[in-house]
């Protein structure tokens, strides 16, 4: 079956499923493979549960006329996504970066959906499987698709661009994330900049944070761009007003008061505003969209529980985002401040150095109570309370509860530090 024929089938059955536990009636089941599973083995199960067809790549599992055999299920999914993206009229905005991708994507979608029919990446489905699934969620009436792209090694963004073929792009920042895969900070800059390279090579439009020296330098000679800045009037100006705890700013004389904690979320808001202006969304709609946006999924959430004012930012962490979170928390107005921070993953040979640097910064910021959790933090030199595992932390806090006041919780996803909420 050709991609054209498969696309015609997809238009007739426009639901994609890759997990037999989530089969919906008349979907197309793509039998993807992983390190510990072979989707082909579940093809018949998917059909029995109501899938219209199953796309497989092992002839052994071709059990009926409802199985479609191809050379590679993954490659076929990616090719179908690109074909569908080209078939539809929607413009594609792609964004990547070390920190803030998902929040920025949500803010952009909130703003642009005020005027246009949009779709956006669900959650953080931003890899070689997630990007195709996002593209395949584009409907006939979709006008703008906002596609998040994640990467942890070189050439990954380049590959995702070939699938999504973006018309517009934005990089949130270049930080100390996935250092192990990228080979250091310079590798991060090179890898994330693959989005710029694609857009410039194809004469597409770029949005940028003009206060970021790296972005500004890389795009200095490129003309198809629009940027925001807090001080340079060559670009669209947005004035930062504060973040104690929520970010507020002024744009075109209008004050915007968000429900986002942390100054680090200010450029995320600015990017959404910039794109709103480009797409002619009225300023009052931009203001409304950003002010009504509520962070979710353990990302910069402000919670109140049992006498604690909690900044919950436990979705992920790397040295750059950890530093920003700590400095922002230190600037908040509170008489008693406690931090519980967990290991940062994927740092390779720099892990010990980066965890030590965070502990040293924490000491300079002079919090009232500090709890470090995880094997990396446990191995550094510090006078702070440190625990090799979450269970060790829990055992300690069960015997000696936290002092009430302001509390920051932050760590990599694998640390699952949101569990702290259950023990305070």
Give the ranges where 91-176 is alpha helix by DSSP (H).
101-112, 130-135, 156-164
Residue with tokens 């039998």: 31
pLDDT digit string, tens, across residues 206-237: 999 999 999 999 999 999 999 999 999 999 99
pLDDT digit string, tens, across residues 31-79: 999 888 999 999 999 999 999 999 999 999 998 899 999 999 999 999 9
**Residue 309: pLDDT above 90?**
yes
Amino acid 344: pLDDT: 96
pLDDT digit string, tens, across residues 270-295: 999 999 999 999 999 999 999 999 98
Q: What CATH number is given for 88-292 in this structure?
A: 3.40.1190.10
Domain at 301-423, CATH from 3.30.1390.20, 3.90.190.20, 3.40.50.1700, 3.30.110.30: 3.90.190.20
Long-range contacts of 348-355 (CB under 8 A, 24+ apart): 348/179, 348/180, 349/180, 350/179, 350/184, 351/376, 352/376, 352/379, 352/380, 354/176, 354/179, 354/319, 355/379, 355/380
DSSP symbol at 299: S
Q: What value does the CA radius of gyration of the chain take, rounded to a whole number of Å?
A: 23
User: Using an 8 Å Cβ cutoff, are 150 and 127 in contact?
Assistant: yes
Task: Name which residue leads in pLDDT, 334 or 249.
Answer: 249
Mean pLDDT of the chain: 95
pLDDT digit string, tens, across residues 100-156: 999 999 999 999 999 999 999 998 799 999 999 999 999 999 999 999 999 888 899
Going from N- to C-terminal start, the domains of the chain cover: 3-73, 88-292, 301-423
CATH architecture under which domain 3-73 falls: 3-Layer(aba) Sandwich (3.40)
Amino acid 188: pLDDT: 87
Amino acid 334: pLDDT: 85
**pTM of the entire predicted model:** 0.89
Instruction: Give how far the C-alpha of residue 314 lies from the chain's centroid of Cα atoms, to the nearest Å.
Output: 13
Task: Return the structure tokens found at 362.
Answer: 């924490």
- Please give the helix or strand (H or E) that residue 390 lies within, else none: helix 390-399
Number of residues assigned to the chain: 424
**Residue 179: pLDDT above 80?**
no
């Amino acid at each position: 079956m050709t991609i054209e024929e498969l696309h015609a089938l997809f238009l007739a059955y426009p639901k994609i499923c890759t997990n037999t536990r989530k089969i919906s009636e008349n979907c197309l089941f793509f039998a993807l493979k992983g390190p510990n599973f072979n989707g082909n083995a579940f093809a018949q199960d998917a059909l029995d549960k109501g899938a219209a067809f199953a796309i497989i790549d092992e002839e052994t599992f071709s059990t009926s006329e409802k199985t479609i055999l191809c050379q590679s299920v993954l490659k076929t999914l990616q090719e179908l996504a690109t074909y569908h993206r080209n078939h539809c009229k929607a413009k594609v905005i792609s964004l990547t970066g070390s920190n803030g991708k998902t929040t920025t994507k949500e803010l952009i979608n909130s703003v642009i959906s005020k005027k246009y029919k949009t779709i956006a990446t669900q959650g953080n489905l931003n890899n070689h499987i997630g990007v195709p699934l996002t593209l395949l969620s584009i409907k006939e009436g979709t006008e703008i698709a906002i596609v998040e792209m994640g990467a942890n090694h070189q050439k990954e963004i380049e590959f995702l661009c070939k699938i999504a073929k973006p018309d517009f792009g934005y990089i949130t920042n270049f930080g100390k994330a996935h250092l192990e895969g990228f080979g250091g900070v310079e590798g991060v800059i090179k890898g994330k900049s693959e989005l710029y390279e694609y857009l410039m090579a194809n004469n597409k439009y770029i949005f940028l944070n003009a206060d970021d020296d790296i972005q500004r330098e890389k795009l200095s000679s490129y003309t198809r761009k629009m940027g925001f800045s807090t001080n340079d009037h060559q670009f669209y100006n947005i004035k930062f007003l504060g973040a104690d705890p929520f970010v507020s700013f002024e744009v075109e004389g209008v004050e915007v008061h968000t429900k986002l904690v942390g100054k680090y979320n200010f450029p995320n808001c600015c990017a959404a505003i910039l794109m709103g202006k480009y797409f002619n969304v009225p300023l009052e709609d931009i203001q409304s969209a950003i002010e009504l946006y509520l962070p979710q999924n353990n990302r910069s959430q402000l919670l109140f529980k049992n006498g604690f004012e909690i900044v919950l930012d436990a979705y992920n962490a790397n040295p750059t985002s950890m530093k920003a979170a700590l400095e922002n928390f230190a600037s908040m107005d509170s008489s008693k401040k406690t931090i519980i921070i967990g290991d940062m993953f994927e740092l390779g040979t720099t892990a010990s150095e980066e965890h030590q640097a965070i502990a040293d910064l924490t000491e300079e910021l002079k919090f009232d109570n500090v709890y470090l959790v995880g094997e990396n933090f446990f191995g550094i030199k510090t006078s702070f309370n440190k625990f090799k595992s979450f269970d060790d932390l829990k055992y300690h806090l069960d015997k000696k509860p936290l002092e009430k006041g302001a509390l920051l919780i932050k760590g990599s996803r694998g640390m699952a530090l949101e569990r702290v909420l259950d023990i305070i």
